[in-house]
Amino acid sequence: MRILLLEDEPKVSALVKRGLAAERYAVDVMADGREGLEYAEAYPYDLILLDLMLPSISGLEVLQRIRRTNQHVPILILTARDSVDDKVKLFESGADDYLTKPFAFAELMVRVKALLRRGPVNRSSTLRIGDLELDRLTQQVKRQGRRVDLTAKEYSLLEYLMQNPDRVLSRNMIIEHVWDQSFDGITNIVDVYVRHLRSKIDDGCAAKMIRTVRGTGYMIRSEMGA
């Protein structure tokens, strides 16, 4: 998988490049809009990460010009602006997703993966991790074959965690997916719900599936470790 990163802030691009490289992606970094556009037109990238504030040509124009020739490559916008107007304009111009700085790297990874696997998305009716099973049709959850009763929010939370196994999900990501952005800043609600969910899923089981990643968020582990 080859990714083009258009970002003029060297430290940010270095950081993102390192992170993506660690996930075994090949990354080209361009700091200039015009050069970036040339690269985007010359090579068949699987994904383009585009910062909006670029020298010589703005990110928005780069986006529009890429879309004129290439309708298919997924484009993820990284930006420090987050007004609703901006977002609407970006989606109208052909952006696939949008990430506001400062972002958790975990969140960037979740979105990159989601864009790259677009098409054959895992829409199977049952999510299964180890001995934990979630049936999307009946909305039933089983651990070690035993049924676990969850509230609606606990169910959504678990579904979101199970869709992204082994991936750290920040509180903000969880808030935006399971609640909505009006709950921004009320991150302690995530902690409370995760605690409740954990007591229902993990209590009485030797292997704890829901783990806390200090300073970042939560993740669900597929391999039962220590």
Partner 1 sequence: MSPNPLHTYRLSLRTRATSWYVGLLALALVACNIGVYVGVRTYLKLSLQRALSGTAQTIADDFLAKLPVKGEPWVLGEVRESYSDSPSDHYVRLSMADRVLFQTADMRDPAIRVADMALPKLAETPAFHRMDVRSHAVMTYVLPFHAADGRVIEVEAGTSLFAMEQTLGSLSKILSVATVLTLIAAAFGGYWLMKMPLRPLVVLAEKAENIGRKELGERLPVIPTGDELERLTHSLNRMIERLEDSLAHNYRFSADASHELRTPLTIMRGEMEEMLQIENLPAQAVENLVSTLEEVERMSRIVNSLMTITRLDAGGERMDLQTLDLAALARSTMEHLRLLAEEKELSLTFVSEEPVYICADPLRMKQVLVNLIDNAIKYTPGGDFFDAAMQGNDISVSVRAVGDEAHLEITDRGAGISEEALPFVFDRFYRADYARSRVAGGAGLGLAIVKSIVAAHDGSVSITSAAGRGTTVSVQLPRVVSAMAPTTQDGASGDRQSRLHIV
Q: Is 2 in the site for partner 1 (CB under 8 A)?
A: no
Which helix (H) or strand (E) element contains residue 55? none
Site string for partner 1, 43-82 (x = CB under 8 A): ----------x--------------------------xxx
- Coil, strand, or helix at residue 49? strand
Q: Is 145 in the site for partner 1 (CB under 8 A)?
A: no
Q: Are strands 140-143 and 132-135 parallel, antiparallel or unpaired?
A: antiparallel
Question: For partner 1, which residue of 44, 102, 120, 225 counts as binding (CB under 8 A)?
Answer: 102
Q: Is 9 in the site for partner 1 (CB under 8 A)?
A: yes
Q: Backbone phi, then psi, for 126, in 5-degree steps?
A: -120, 130
Question: For partner 1, which residue of 83, 124, 125, 138 counts as binding (CB under 8 A)?
Answer: 83
Q: Is 160 in the site for partner 1 (CB under 8 A)?
A: no
Q: Give the torsion through C-alpha atoms of 18, 24, 30, 33, to 10 deg.
A: -120
Q: Is 114 in the site for partner 1 (CB under 8 A)?
A: no
- Coil, strand, or helix at residue 117? coil
Question: For partner 1, which residue of 180, 206, 223, 226 counts as binding (CB under 8 A)?
Answer: 180
Question: For partner 1, which residue of 24, 42, 72, 84 counts as binding (CB under 8 A)?
Answer: 84
224 φψ region: left (φ > 0), alpha (ψ -120 to 50), beta (else): beta
Q: What share of the chain is helix, strand, coil (3-state, %, to 5)?
A: 40, 20, 35
Interface with partner 1 (CB under 8 A): 9, 11-12, 15-16, 18-19, 53, 80-85, 88, 100-106, 153, 172, 179-189, 192-193, 196, 214-216
